[in-house]
Amino acid sequence: MNLKFRVVSDSMAPLIKVGDELTFEKKSAYNIFDIILFKRKDELFVHFVWRDQSSFNNTLITRSLKNYLADEEPVSIGEVLGTVAEFKIPAATKIKIYLNCLVRSKL
């Protein structure tokens, strides 16, 4: 079953904008840069997966595109409702994120 969700925050802009309707599909495993929907304390969030710690402590580390240099609080696999079907983070954006993180870690 797919879940539809209308975006109310600009945390994933410019890729995903406020008002966009997204369809999410449940997966058994998540990859780096998958865009996920998760629920925490009765709020829904859309972020991308930065690190998969599921084999270590059953969590994912996510980030928003708006603040892609900062790790968010770990997300339990049980909080994840699915991955977005219609948007993928472009390769150029992935390279930009990696390079900015690399440069920042050298400071």
pTM: 0.88
Instruction: Give Cα separations from 23 to 19, 43, 56, 79 (angstroms).
Output: 13, 17, 29, 17
Q: What is the 3-state secondary structure (H, E, C) of 87-98?
A: CCCCHHHHHHHH
CA R_g for the chain: 13
Query: Tokens at residue 25, please?
Result: 């599909």
pLDDT, tens digit only, all 107 positions of the chain: 678 889 999 999 999 999 999 999 988 889 999 999 999 889 999 999 999 998 889 999 999 999 888 888 899 999 999 999 888 999 999 999 999 888 876 64
- Three-state SS at 61: strand
